[in-house]
Amino acid sequence: MIMKMKLPGKFLTVAVQAARAAGKIMRDNWQNPKRVNFSDVHDIKLELDVRCQKTIEKILRGAFPQTSLLGEEGCSGDANANYRWVVDPIDGTVNYFFGMPHAAVSIALQLKTKNSKFKTILGVIYDPFTDELWTAMLGGKTKLNGRVVRCSSRSRVNNSVIAMGFSKSRENLERSLPHLNRLARRAKKIRVMGSAALELAYVASGRLDAYIERTINLWDIAAGGLMVECSGGEMFLKELRDGRFRMCADNGRLRKKLQLGDLLK
C-alpha cells in the first residue's frame, strides 16, 4: 500500500519544466553530429548528456537550492539534504546516438526517511519524440499527458509482452541469457528496447507486462519505479553492494510466474 503524501505542486511543475527543456535539447540536436565524450565496448556518453543534465540542474536547483541532485552525469548540492533529485538526462543514449527515437528524460524526487534511506515521492519521464509525459506522485495515480493510466491485467506469461535489459559484464550475461532463451519460448513477445525509463513507463501504462534487468542504476529506475507502483504494479528491487539494483517491474500478476530465481539473487 502506497502512503499518500502532500507535496507542493511547484515540485511537479518545476520537474516537468526541466524535463521538457532537456527534451527540447534532444529534439533540436536530433539531426546534428554528436560529440562523444566517452565510448567503450557497450556504452556511449555524449557531450549532450552533460548539457541536458546542466539544463535540468539549473532549473531544479534554481527553484529549490537546498535540494541536492544525484545524476548520471554527476552530483551537486548538499549530500546531507533531506530532499534530492535523481536524474537521467538522456536515458537511452545509445539509441539516441544511432538515430533510434527511443530515449527519454527521467527525473525523480526523493525524501530521506528516518533510517536515512531515500524514498521516491515524485517521478517525471518525458519522451520528446512522441511528446509523451508521464507523471506520478506518491499515493497518487500515474498519468500520461494528464490522463490516468494503469498496468495491464494480463496474468498468463504466454499472453504477455516482456522487456529485458542487459548490463554487459560476463557474469550478468551468463546469468541473464538462459532466462531470455526460456522466456522467449514462453511469452507472447520479448523486447530489448534500450531505455529503462521508458520500459518502466510502458509497464505503468499497460504497454508492457513486465520488465527485468539484473543490474541497473538508481537514476534509470527511480522515477519509473514509482510510476509502476502508482499504476497498480509491483516493483521488486534488491540493492547491491555497489549501489546498483536487481530489478523486476511487473503488473502485479506475473513476477512469480516468470520463475526468475537466480537472476534476481
For the residues of 46-103, what is the DSSP string, one character each? EHHHHHHHHHHHHHHHHH-TTSEEEETTEEES-TT-SEEEEEEEEETHHHHHTT----
For residue 216, pLDDT over 90 is answered with yes
Who's near 198: CB < 8 A, 6+ residues apart? Answer: 91, 92, 102, 103, 104, 125, 127, 224
Closest by CA to 231, choosing from 106, 137, 161, is 137
- pTM to 2 decimal places: 0.94
Q: Tell me the three cell numbers of residue 151.
A: 498496468
CATH number for domain 157-264, candidates 3.90.1150.10, 1.10.3720.10, 3.30.70.260, 3.40.190.80? 3.40.190.80
Instruction: State the number of CA atoms in the 13 A half-sphere of 172 facing the CB.
Output: 15
For the stretch 87-118, pLDDT in tens is 999 999 999 999 999 999 999 999 999 888 99
For the chain, the 3-state helix, strand and coil shares in percent, each to the nearest 5, are 35, 30, 35
Q: 167 pLDDT band (50/70/90 cuts)?
A: confident
For the cut 90, the answer to whether the pLDDT of residue 194 exceeds it is yes
> What is the distance between the alpha carbons of residues 87 and 213, in angstroms, rounded to a whole number?
19
d(C-alpha 122, C-alpha 104), whole Å: 17
Say if residue 3's pLDDT is above 80: no
For 170-179, 183-192, 195-204, which range has the lowest pLDDT when averaged over its residues? 170-179
Terminal Cα-to-Cα distance of the chain (whole angstroms): 24
Domain locations in the chain as residue ranges: 9-148, 157-264
* Lowest-confidence segment of 78-82, 155-159, 168-172 by average pLDDT: 168-172
Architecture of the structural domain at 9-148: 2-Layer Sandwich (3.30)
